[in-house]
């Protein structure tokens, strides 16, 4: 088995990446549907939303050397209004939020999701954030397992259009700790 770290080249998405990101989203939706995971569809996340992420400079892409796009995620401070009643435990530090984690189905099971989240944590610490929050669809066991395995704490759930989403957070250790 190959190492699960330090295999991705990470960069911020540009508008020229929109076609590749849209294909990645389409492939992820098809893969989830095949696995009976009714999480994403044509309404969410929409191509307009992805373009907004790209234009804001918040979408980060993971590329394997010599290959095409294998993963993406969005990092910003935007917390959904539905999260207002979540009993968050970490409230004393700046919070970064991870959204729309995507891994090319042809590369799933290779540690790409873990590497994307490792990047998110490193990036967050470098930018002065003390914790990461995110939510994951309750009907997506792959995502739930990923966040549990990476040490994220499930602090409650919220309902969105497609159903219950579990809310996770993780305190980040400082770079000097």
Query: Could you tell me the CATH number of the domain that includes residue 76?
Result: 3.40.630.30
Say which residue the tokens 């250790």 belong to.
173
Domain ranges, residue 125: 8-171
- 140 within some domain: yes
Long-range contacts of 117-122 (CB under 8 A, 24+ apart): 117/73, 117/146, 117/147, 117/150, 118/5, 119/8, 119/10, 119/60, 119/62, 120/60, 120/73, 120/75, 120/96, 121/170, 121/172
Which residues, in sequence order, are bridge partners of residue 14?
Answer: none
pLDDT digits (tens, 9 = 90+) for 58-114: 999 999 877 789 999 999 999 988 888 999 999 999 999 999 999 999 999 889 999
- 47 within some domain: yes
- 50 within some domain: yes
| Residue 57 burial (CB count, 10 A) | 12
pLDDT at 18 exceeding the cut of 90: yes
- What is the mean pLDDT of the segment spanning 134-144? 91
- 161 within some domain: yes
What does the alpha-carbon distance between residue 177 and residue 168 come to, in Å, rounded to a whole number?
Answer: 23
pLDDT at 1 exceeding the cut of 50: no
- 1 within some domain: no
Residue 126 CB contacts under 8 Å (≥ 6 apart), including other chains: 175
Per DSSP (E only), the strands in the chain are: 8-12, 59-64, 69-76, 95-103, 131-137, 153-160, 163-171
User: What was the pLDDT predicted at 66?
Assistant: 72
pLDDT digits (tens, 9 = 90+) for 157-169: 877 776 678 999 9
- 3 within some domain: no
- 32 within some domain: yes
User: What was the pLDDT predicted at 160?
Assistant: 76
- 176 within some domain: no
Domain count, the chain: 1
Residue 53 CB contacts under 8 Å (≥ 6 apart), including other chains: 13, 59, 74, 99, 100
């Amino acid at each position: 088995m190959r190492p699960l770290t330090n295999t991705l080249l990470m960069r911020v998405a540009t508008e020229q990446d929109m076609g590749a990101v849209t294909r990645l989203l389409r492939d992820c939706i098809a893969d989830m549907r095949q696995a009976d995971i009714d999480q994403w569809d044509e309404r969410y996340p929409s191509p307009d939303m992805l373009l907004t992420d790209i234009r804001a400079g918040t979408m980060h892409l993971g590329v394997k050397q010599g290959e095409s796009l294998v993963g993406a995620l969005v990092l910003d401070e935007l917390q959904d209004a539905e999260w207002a009643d979540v009993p968050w435990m970490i409230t004393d530090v700046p919070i970064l939020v991870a959204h729309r984690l995507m891994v090319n189905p042809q590369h799933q099971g290779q540690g790409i999701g873990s590497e994307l989240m490792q990047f998110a944590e490193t990036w967050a610490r470098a930018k002065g954030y003390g914790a990461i929050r995110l939510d994951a669809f309750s009907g997506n066991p792959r995502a739930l397992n990923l966040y549990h395995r990476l040490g994220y704490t499930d602090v409650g759930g919220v309902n969105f259009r497609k159903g219950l989403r579990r809310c996770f957070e993780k305190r980040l250790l400082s770079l000097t700790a």
